[in-house]
Structure 1
Amino acid sequence: MAKVAGRLSIFAGKGALVPHIVETALQAGYKVQVLTMSPRDPIVGAKTITADLDNPLGIIWSLKIFRTTHIAMAGGIDLSDKAREGLIRFANGNAAAGEGMADTPVGDAALAALGKVLKKMTGADLVGVHELSPDLLAGEGAIAGPRFDDHAAALFALETARAIGALDIGQAAIVSGRRIIAVEDIGGTDALIDRVGALRARGLTGTGAAQLILAKAMQPQQPGFVDLPAVGPQTVERCAAAGIAVIAVEAGRSLVLQRAELIAAAQLHGVAIVGLRIGNG
């Protein structure tokens, strides 16, 4: 990436993506500020502060003091409904609870609404982590693990994930053949995988003739700067423990984290990972 002059503020959640993006941004010439939304150790080279979601005006002040030119969101972010509703009220000009919010999304799309307000109030450009580090994007075809050729089943899984994304429920689904086993909810992908593992232990996920497939797809209404679907080595290990044999991700719209470690984990546990395009993807 060519050197640029800019001041990047990263809203940081959990996981290894955050230090990777910080390092990439520093190498690209950015000054970097990390606003932590989950407990995290300071990152070398970046100014680190805590983002208090109960004080959105304080967040705006932090962005302005830093003279932020670009804003990114990275890492897993767990928000309670109370926090989401607070952000939406802020985005709607501090409307009273329920006022003017009937048609406003409170799920992951709430982060998109917040991003647009931050841009309006600071003038900073919103960038996706894939723009800062294009090497993270999932390619089309085999990514890791053993060969997997039932792309029709994987596409069904991805279309299911896209469908629940359209409802702003989540980004992931697990299927067995053409049977939907479970979909992601507010608990997130890890909870989904664990739940299916428990169902499998009870003998409720089929005879084993059809492999369990975890699919992750970008929500249709989701802007690229917010929380792209991601898989990493921990996803592989969790899937293996739950009896999930295949992970399908939306090519060009999903992130592959810690790629070397992911490939090693997929090989060790025999979990196939494939990237496929769906719809307009």
Structure 2
Amino acid sequence: MAGRLSIFAGTGGLVPHAVAAAKAAGYKVQVLALSPRPDLTDVKVITADLANPLGIIWSLKIFRTTHIVMAGAIHLPDKAREGLIRFANGGETPAQAAATSVGDATLAALGSVLKKMTGADLVGVHEIAPDLLAEQGTVGGPAVPHGLDGSIAFALQTAQAIGALDIGQAAVVLGRRVIAVEDIGGTDALIARVGELVRAGLTGDGSGPLILAKAVKPQQPLFADLPAIGPDTVSNCARAGIGIIAVEAGRSLVIERERLVVLAAQLGIAVHGAVLGNG
């Protein structure tokens, strides 16, 4: 598959891993940074302005891009989302765009536009770095206690359900009770909110573990924004009182795996991959 790869880079530790993996696979790489990335010193970095999609297209064409990867967290205000949707739909008027969904899943329409205008294929970061994918079973930390398979399945189904509404990719449950779900604030904000609920005594008596689950949105293409966890997820969960992190095996990313495994063992957080029956 090696060719000329442009990486749309958001924030977080996934980006340098994607760059290194792409280079190791033989790609020529450029990074289109959607937020400052001073840490990327061994690759060509271009600042990408989402308000100027034609400028981005030009950068892709000049580089003779053959493949495009999206990596890292990307936070878009509604105005930027609407502008991208107008671009993807051939220049809708603002009034028309306002009536159009501008959630993350809708941004998948950009894939066909980029393919049409540049000839480049959008691929998932897991296709460049397959070692990032979470496996089934224990990923890090202690094994999940016996008898919690049903709760983990419920947690992942809940995460998938809110994904179907294009709200987020994560949920926190206790047994079969939903404690909180991810919204536009993201997973870190969800975990912090759960920590406040724990400290307020609103999440039970501690007889069962809180479970954070992350799953792919049913309608999202796998090249865009796969659920991801990393060492920060583990440490944030420990602070919030969440004892288990469950991810969709084969469809979720584990970033900085070695650090995550060490932290999960130190903090006693069970990190587990499971397959959704309807995934």
TM-score normalised by L of structure 2: 0.96
The answer as to whether partners of 1:176 and 1:211 remain within 8 angstroms in 2 is yes
Indicate the larger mover: 74-83 or 184-193. 74-83
3-state SS, counterpart of residue 207 of structure 2: coil
1:119 corresponds to which residue? Answer: 115
CA distance in 1, matches of 2:41, 2:183: 35
**Aligned-pair CA distance for 1:163:** 0.2
**Aligned-pair CA distance for 1:213:** 0.4
2:177 to 171, 176, 179: 179
The count of aligned residue pairs is: 277
2:166 to 154, 165, 168: 168
- The aligned amino acid for 1:185 is D
What 5-or-longer segments of structure 2 have no aligned partner? Answer: none
1:244 corresponds to which residue? Answer: 242
The answer as to whether partners of 2:82 and 2:97 remain within 8 angstroms in 1 is no
Summarize the alignment of residues 31-110 of structure 1 with structure 2, pairs less than 5 Å apart.
Answer: 31-41=28-38, 43-99=40-96, 102=99, 104-110=100-106
2:275 corresponds to 1:277: yes
The answer as to whether partners of 1:32 and 1:45 remain within 8 angstroms in 2 is no
TM-score normalised by L of structure 1: 0.96
2:13 corresponds to which residue? Answer: 16
2:132 corresponds to 1:136: yes
- The aligned amino acid for 1:72 is V
- Post-superposition Cα deviations, 1:174-217, rounded to whole Å, max 9, x if no partner, equal 00111000000000000000011011111111111121100000
- What CA RMSD, in Å, does the superposition of the two structures yield over aligned residues? 1.2
Moved over 3 A (4+): none
- The aligned amino acid for 1:170 is G
- The aligned amino acid for 1:157 is A
2:142 to 126, 146, 162: 146
CA distance in 1, matches of 2:138, 2:251: 15
Change (3 A) 1:209 1:5: closer
3-state SS, counterpart of residue 182 of structure 1: strand
Change (3 A) 1:259 1:5: closer
CA distance in 2, matches of 1:218, 1:15: 19
The answer as to whether partners of 2:134 and 2:249 remain within 8 angstroms in 1 is yes
